[in-house]
Structure 1
Amino acid sequence: MSVPRATPNPFSGLHRAGTPLLLPNAWDHASALAMAGQGFRAIATTSLAVAAAAGVPDGASATRDETLRLALVLGSQPFLLSVDAESGFSEDPDEVGEFARQLAAVGVVGINLEDGLGAVDRHAAKIAAVKSAAPSLFVNARTDTYWLGEHDETETLSRLDAYQQAGADGVFVPGLTDAREIAALVERLDKPLNILYSPTGPTVAHLTDLGVSRISLGSFLYRRALGAALDAVDEIRAGRQPGGRTPTYEDVQSLGAGVALARHI
């Protein structure tokens, strides 16, 4: 059986030290189109929001179907789409590869795969399986040494080295916010480094100076949206007029054009 050939991926070219990709994470069609309307050429999904909308925990491999459905809706839109696929929704590398092939078939250009501090060789095998099944897909290999672990620099580099060798196109270390450690990783890595934005961490400008190639917003925007809704409810209940930006009904209705007609309430 012949191995699929990789085709040039424009998403890969957006990962550049000095001019990093600022990547907002959407959770549905409306949020993705709204962000694209702000000039973002690439949009990612966030697994936390997809899981929360389905009423299941994030990271539990319970949203494979929901993630694929969202990719089907967004993959044909006029922006580059990267999908947060947790750990691939399976421990079988071949199944992860097949899921990646399905994503690529509907127009997805990138996939984010997290190791959850599981076995390095198993995660490396998943990465290799994805690159075999969907060669043009940009694989962002995430290690959770800072998100879930003990902030071990040696273990982080060891894991990232294995994932680079397995074929990852970029590597991701969420939870890493120390400027010195970020700069050291940039110097040691062969692939673009992705850092998760944190309001208490380095600014976008500082991350740019450190050589980071991709800055993800993760679930931050979704959590802010929920927070804004709660703030608005509190303001209304207290007899005050809510502040902040509020799109009109027509604004939101227009985001669904061509997908489905919204039902009046």
Structure 2
Amino acid sequence: MSETQQEKYDRFAALHRGEGAFIVPNPWDAGTARVLTQMGFQALATTSAGYAFSVGKRDSFAGLSRQEILDNAREIAAATHLPVTADLEDGFGIMPETCAETVILAIAAGLVGGSIEDATGHGDAPIYEQALAVDRIMAAAEAKRDKPFLLTARAENYLWDRHDLDDTIRRLQAYSAAGADVLYAPGLTDLNDIRTLCAELDRPVNVVMGLVGPSISVANLAEAGVKRISVGGSFARAAYGAMMRAAEEVLEQGTFNYARDAVRDGALSDMMSDSKATNRT
């Protein structure tokens, strides 16, 4: 018998209360969700970057619609028995009520979590003023009240070259007070900064690895106080890197040695759905 959304949420929430840190990798479609599920992860997260690349678009505020993101997330959630949390970008609008609406739609799509970020997408003023940013998280938190949904609040300073740890901590503390369940500051790469941030916050902390900077182990992140580790679009970029290296070999050398490292067709087929189309025309 398949689990209910509440049961998936309960499992997801429990991971945030357990010992150490857990990894939530980021599939970009139903197929990669199936692969990562069967490899043994405990939860999944969507990636707007990975999805954007897969449909030939830039990962940008103007490039992806809320409907596209939620349709992709719905397909990922339907392809796995694991809890799925989504990258909901900036909530797809400035106003707090838009963020609230996005959370309601995310829950309807079968998601048990999602993140709202405080980036505006505008280079001249890249981060929302804190008062508005807090109102946006508060509205999202109110929308998910008594529903099976874990709200993550993201402070985006470091992704926009605003390397201000104190401001990032203040923002995340304010988002916690506004009702966020998980706190996230993507772009932090210094383990001491991560340790300081975790010590100053009263909610589970998510960090992203695989983007830029040094590679920090799961064990070291857990020791620093991190609870959840995601990989953003880095798995997607790794997959594209392998494809581009294969293409370069064929173009430049006229050989096909890349096939030795490719996953066997049968192995992938075994991981995919065996459902059959009812109408093939």
Provide TM-score, normalisation by structure 2.
0.83
- Counterpart among 54, 79, 83 of residue 82 in structure 2: 79
Whether 2:245 is the aligned partner of 1:231: answer: yes
Instruction: Work out which of the residue numbers 139, 146, 155 in structure 2 matches 1:129.
Output: 139
Offset of residue 16 of structure 1: 4.3
Question: Aligned equivalents of 1:50 and 1:149: distance in 2?
Answer: 24
**DSSP 3-state at the match of 1:168:** coil
Q: Is the 8 A contact 2:38 2:271 kept in 1?
A: no
Residue 199 (structure 2) aligns with: 187
Alpha carbons of 1:102 and 1:257: their partners in 2 closer, same or farther (altered >3 Å)?
farther
Aligned partners of 1:82 and 1:244: how far apart in 2? 31
Map Cα deviations across residues 52-95 of structure 1 (whole Å, 9 max, x no partner): 33443323153311111122223343110001011111112212
Rounded to whole Å, the distance in 1 between the matches of 2:207 and 2:172 is: 13
Q: Percent identity?
A: 31
Q: In 2, Cα distance between the equivalents of 1:24 and 1:79?
A: 11
2:102 is matched with which residue?
99
Residue correspondences, number: 257
Change (3 A) 1:248 1:11: same
1:258 aligns with 2:275: yes
Q: Please list, as runs of the form range in 1=range in 2, the aligned pairs for 1:36-185 lying within 5 A after superposition.
A: 36-61=37-62, 62-76=64-78, 77-116=80-119, 117-135=127-145, 136-185=148-197
1:19 maps to 20
Q: Return the offset for 1:149.
A: 2.8
SS in structure 2 at match of 1:146: helix
Range with bigger deviation, 31-40 or 60-69: 60-69
Rate the CA distance shift 1:254–1:191 in 2: closer, same or farther, 3 A: closer
Provide the rounded CA distance (Å) in 2 between the counterparts of 1:40 and 1:169: 21
1:8-66 CA distances to partner (integer Å, 9 max, x unpaired)? 63212212474212010010000011000101121111011222334433231533111
Q: Bigger CA drift: 166-175 or 65-74? A: 65-74
RMSD: 2.3
**Residue-by-residue CA offset, 1:196-250 (whole Å, 9 max, x unaligned):** 1137231112111111101111111000000000111122331141142424067
Matched with 1:212 is 226
Contact residue 137 and residue 179 of structure 2 kept, 8 A: yes
Q: In structure 1, what is the Cα distance between the partners aligned to 2:250 and 2:268?
A: 22
Query: Cα offset for 1:147?
Result: 1.5
Match of 1:3 in 2: none
Q: What's the secondary structure of 1:26's corresponding residue?
A: coil
Identify the match of residue 246 of structure 1 among 255, 260, 263: 263
Using the alignment, how far apart are the partners of 1:46 and 1:91 within structure 2? 21
Of stretches 181-190 and 250-259 in structure 1, the one that deviates more from structure 2 is 250-259
- Aligned pair in 2 of structure 1 residues 153, 84: CA closer, same or farther (>3 Å)? same
Gaps of 5+ in 2: 1-5, 120-126
Q: Contact 2:246/2:256 (CA < 8 Å) preserved in 1?
A: no
Question: Could you say what secondary structure the match of 1:75 adopts?
Answer: helix
TM-score by length of 1: 0.88
Work out the CA distance in 2 between the residues paired with 1:260 and 1:46. 28
